[in-house]
Amino acid sequence: MSTSLALVSEEAVAPRPQARPEDRLEDDELLDAYSRAVIGAAESVSPSVVNIETRHHVRGREAGGSGSGFVFTPDGFILTNSHVVHGAMRIDVMLPDGRRSRAVLVGDDPDTDLAVIRIDASNLAPAVLGDSGRIRPGQLVIAIGNPFGFQCTVTSGVVSALGRSLRAQSGRLIDNVIQTDAALNPGNSGGPLVNSRGEVIGVNTAAIRGAQGICFATAINTAKFVAARLIKDGSIRRRHIGVVGQDVALPRRLIRFHNLPVDSGVRVEEVVPGGPAEGAGVLRGDVIVAFDGRPIAGIDHLHRSLTDAQVGVRCELSLIRGVEKMDLGVFPETRQED
């Protein structure tokens, strides 16, 4: 019996296939294509990436900090994280060519962990801003920054997931965050996350300590909107309806049946207790498709509508619950600052 079992075992083991020379050539070509993409993106964006040094008052003493940022206009506007520059009494920027410049804070938004600073310098190389609405999980991304003071450090990985929520230092949730496994370390904060074409698709924000390859970036579409408001007004006055949401595609049959002007919406992941949405009857799992008469295709659209909404005035919230379309009256409130 033992001999029979041995024979069956031997027959069940398939021979290990031998690598063919042409297979190795394909692998080499793929590796070279990956390398070319990373190198090209890094060379394109690195001239825009800056090192930011700050001085703060901490418990009555002066302390220093550092982070990253990137130039996004020819006249010296720089995007970075709010937690890098918030409350700083002095901000200095070091450009890739070695020049140093004192920066002024244009405005910061702790709710999205974004800030805009500005320097007075010539011959700047602004980064090209992409469209974070077009990225997909598995897509190649490159992070560039100054971790631990090492300038223009390049790491690469993929988009691990989209539509994450991340709690900012203000205590509020940042919606529609990009998760990536491109390594981030202290000092990377505020640097660009770019695609293979060298377009910025996110602002690197945080990594989970102790985890491997779980890092986050604020989507560039959110950053564009926030930066424009900060440049115009210096701050963002926000209203809220008390939901945490995530972008989600809508089934075609629902789009046709309800004649919806959008093919995506905001799925409610959390309803804040005591907030306007709870009072209006919004439930977890509802998908918001319109607010105050404006189509809502994603969380960025909802944020824009809330920023412009009147406080305490009834607004119509259109949503899909199951297969039914519902209209609810909601009264946006001004967020209380921490």
Based on the domain organization, do 156 and 263 belong to the same domain?
A: no
- Judge whether 83 counts as a catalytic residue: yes
- 9 lies in some domain: no
| pLDDT on residue 186 | 80
- 99 lies in some domain: yes
Based on the domain organization, do 183 and 255 belong to the same domain?
A: no
Question: Who's near 172: CB < 8 A, 6+ residues apart?
Answer: 110, 111, 335
| pLDDT on residue 175 | 75
- Judge whether 113 counts as a catalytic residue: yes
| pLDDT on residue 291 | 92
Based on the domain organization, do 205 and 264 belong to the same domain?
A: no
Question: How do residues 91-123 score in pLDDT, each as one tens digit?
Answer: 999 999 999 999 999 999 988 899 999 999 999
- 255 lies in some domain: yes
The active-site residue, picked from 189, 264, 305, 318, is: 189
Task: Give the Cα separation of 63 and 57 in Å (integer).
Answer: 6
| pLDDT on residue 124 | 96
pTM of the predicted model over 0.95: no
Tally of CB atoms within 10 A around 38: 18
Which residue, 188, 205, 233, sits at the end of a domain? 233
Question: Who's near 96: CB < 8 A, 6+ residues apart?
Answer: 46, 47, 49, 50, 151, 152
Based on the domain organization, do 128 and 210 belong to the same domain?
A: yes
Which residue, 190, 215, 233, sits at the end of a domain? 233
Low-confidence ranges of the chain (pLDDT < 70): 1-31, 149, 168-173, 210-211, 308-310, 335-338
Q: What amino acid is encoded at 170 in this protein?
A: S
Based on the domain organization, do 96 and 216 belong to the same domain?
A: yes
Rg of the Cα trace of the chain? 24
Task: Give the Cα separation of 302 and 306 in Å (integer).
Answer: 6
Based on the domain organization, do 155 and 225 belong to the same domain?
A: yes
- 166 lies in some domain: yes
Domain CATH number, residue 138: 2.40.10.120
Q: What amino acid is encoded at 149 in this protein?
A: G
- For the chain, the domain total comes to 2
- 10 lies in some domain: no
| Distances from the Cα of 158 to the Cα of 75, 193, 250, angstroms | 32, 11, 25
| pLDDT on residue 46 | 94
Task: Give the Cα separation of 194 and 209 in Å (integer).
Answer: 23
Which residue, 198, 233, 268, sits at the end of a domain? 233
- 13 lies in some domain: no
The active-site residue, picked from 113, 247, 286, 292, is: 113
- Judge whether 189 counts as a catalytic residue: yes
- 5 lies in some domain: no
User: What's the domain range around 228?
Assistant: 21-233
The active-site residue, picked from 66, 68, 82, 83, is: 83
